[in-house]
A and B are shown apart, each in its own frame.
Chain A
Amino acid sequence: MAMTDESDAGMVAFNAFVDRMEPRLRQALIATYGPADGREATVDALSWAWEHWDQLAEITNQAGYLYRVGQSAVRRFRSGAVPWHVEGAVETEPHDFDPGLAPALDQLSSQQRTVVLLVHAHGWSQADVARTLGINPSTVREHLARAMTRLRNDLEVHDVH
């Protein structure tokens, strides 16, 4: 079906929204569910955004809302606990991190892992993490501290400060 000028304008607006929203939404959902499911959930969440554009405009915390939409999507296509698998490059190519890092992350609770990755792997502020995940900033601090302690113990890493 040929798109009209008006629909082209709408698509431009939606693409601009996606350009702004997608990287952080994808980072958050991948941190929670791993690259494969996280990316699928991101597409689902953005599809929902397209379908509910008017409703989305009324939502103040759009990133947080779409994150929850992505969570619902994963729960629909994955019943029960969702393991965090790092497929592809991370498992098969040597990188400048401990090969036990990904398995150690998998041992964390989903929320602990998400917080650690968003703060330390992607450079988010703790306030942004709290807003997107819909949790209290003090909870973010607690998850971060406990997760980093557990990772250091699991990896026997002793940072020098």
Chain B
Amino acid sequence: MSTDLESQLRVLGRVLDDSTVPVTGREAVDRVMINGDTTSLHPSGPDNVQTVVTTGAVDDFASRGRIRWLSVAAAVLVVAAMGSMALFARSDPDPFAALEVDLSGATPLAGAERVEPSDWVVAAELPDGVGWLYADTDDEAPSLTGESERAVWYGDSPLADARDRYRVSVGGRSLSSGGDAIDIDGTAWTISPYELNRWIATRPVGPSFVAVSGPGVFDVVDRDLIASLVVVPESGLPATPLGPVDQSVVVAQTELGETSYTLAAQESNGFWCFAGRSTNEFGYGCGTAIDPADPITIETGSTTSLYSADTVKAVRGGTVATQVARVDVEFVDGTIVSVTPTDLSAQFDRRFWIAAADIDTQTQPGSLVTVETVVEVRAYDNDGRLLAAKSPPSPNEQAPG
């Protein structure tokens, strides 16, 4: 056997190709035909080709994953009655079907001269497979007029990487500098790169800025999304927006020495914001989707830069399922802190934990490096049985922001 890794990978590549039957064009077309009577496809096919789908209605406005505002308004009453937890039902093949904006009171953004501070900007058309995730408000970066930024988030899965989401906001400051001017349906936008592998499009609307950002390279579907933007009142949103940080409620608390640490949370439609506080420290993050079936999540806390200190105060917090009676948090120096998960607000169907410890940095190699302070979090039931264990992702694998 070759010991050269590259050679081994080349062999594996040949095996993968040999063991996988190539896909044919006929197979792809057959799949469209099979699904044609059940999924409201739009079977256009190449130019001048007669339709090959012989059953089922062809409906230009029903392509899955797209929000067509002319048709959505009629569906809103039905949608409103559906529970938000359907979003995370693992057996649901289309988790976004239940969450759509009421566009009956919508007006196109293209012709708007201003957006009222109580209004939101949403997309009436989305790329295939992309749907509503949540909305939030942020008063940390108000516009020049002092209005809070209101943002709606879209994505192809609630649990997917946040960097793959689309974001449409109004009311904040313009974050981009420079960029390419582009005309979209008679309206001037500025397109710029934004963060790694994302683009952002901005335009002023009266005293406010509207900003749209999305993953990858700006493409025709992104242009369609921007062209479809409409202004809606907050009552048109399918779920209450996550609010500013001061709307979070304390759900768990712990002490270390004379310092008290609290974890505060707020939730909308399965998405959460968490705020960790101590006497002189504060951390806040929003937009986390939690699968209700997940026994443990690790949401907030410190990854600590080790300088010359012998010890650092390490704090971590998160959530557990309601049947969890005890959480053990093992830190990198071997310290294990046991806490009882709580919901001090009595508002949620999750329990919350926060654990703090002085950890010995001498056990860590080197200095001036960023390390995760927690090795593992373990959840136990009332009988002391281990229900689940989870380790946080390494600092290098965590999404920025």
Residues of A within 8 A of B (CB): 1, 3-4, 6-7, 9-11, 13-15, 17-19, 22-23, 26-27, 30, 35, 38-39, 42-44, 46-55, 58-61, 64-65, 68-69, 71-73, 75-77, 79-80, 86, 88-90, 95-98, 101-102, 109, 116-117, 120-123, 134-136, 139, 146, 148, 151-152, 155, 157-160
Whether a CB of chain A sits under 8 angstroms from the CB of B196 is yes
Q: How far is the CA of A157 from the CA of B286 in the complex (A)?
A: 42
> Quick check: B54 and A1 within 8 Å, CB to CB?
yes
> Quick check: A90 and B15 within 8 Å, CB to CB?
yes
> Quick check: B19 and A47 within 8 Å, CB to CB?
no
Interface flags, B94-128, vs A, CB<8A=1, else 0 = 10000000000000000000000000000000001
Whether a CB of chain A sits under 8 angstroms from the CB of B3 is yes
> Quick check: A75 and B196 within 8 Å, CB to CB?
no
The tally of CB-CB contacts under 8 A between chains A and B is: 205
Which residues of chain B come closer than 8 Å to A23, judged between CB atoms? 22
Q: How far is the CA of A15 from the CA of B368 in the complex (A)?
A: 56
Given A72-B129, A97-B12: A65 and B28 interface contact (C-beta under 8 Å)? no
B291 to nearest A CB, angstroms?
7
Would you call the interface of chain A mostly helix, strand, loop, or mixed?
Answer: helix
Whether a CB of chain A sits under 8 angstroms from the CB of B20 is yes
- Give 17 A-B contacts (CB < 8 Å), ordered by A residue: A6-B48, A11-B46, A15-B25, A23-B22, A44-B31, A50-B46, A52-B128, A53-B47, A58-B220, A64-B217, A69-B128, A72-B128, A72-B156, A88-B19, A90-B19, A117-B13, A155-B5
- Contacts A1-B52, A6-B49, A26-B22 aside, 7 further interface pairs with beta carbons under 8 A come to A38-B20, A42-B23, A46-B27, A75-B129, A101-B12, A121-B9, A148-B5
Q: How far is the CA of A58 from the CA of B196 in the complex (A)?
A: 24
Which residues of chain B come closer than 8 Å to A6, judged between CB atoms? 48-50
Given A48-B128, A61-B219, A72-B128: A18 and B23 interface contact (C-beta under 8 Å)? yes
Given A26-B22, A65-B219, A159-B5: A47 and B29 interface contact (C-beta under 8 Å)? yes
- A19, A53, A77 pick with most chain B CB within 10 angstroms: A53
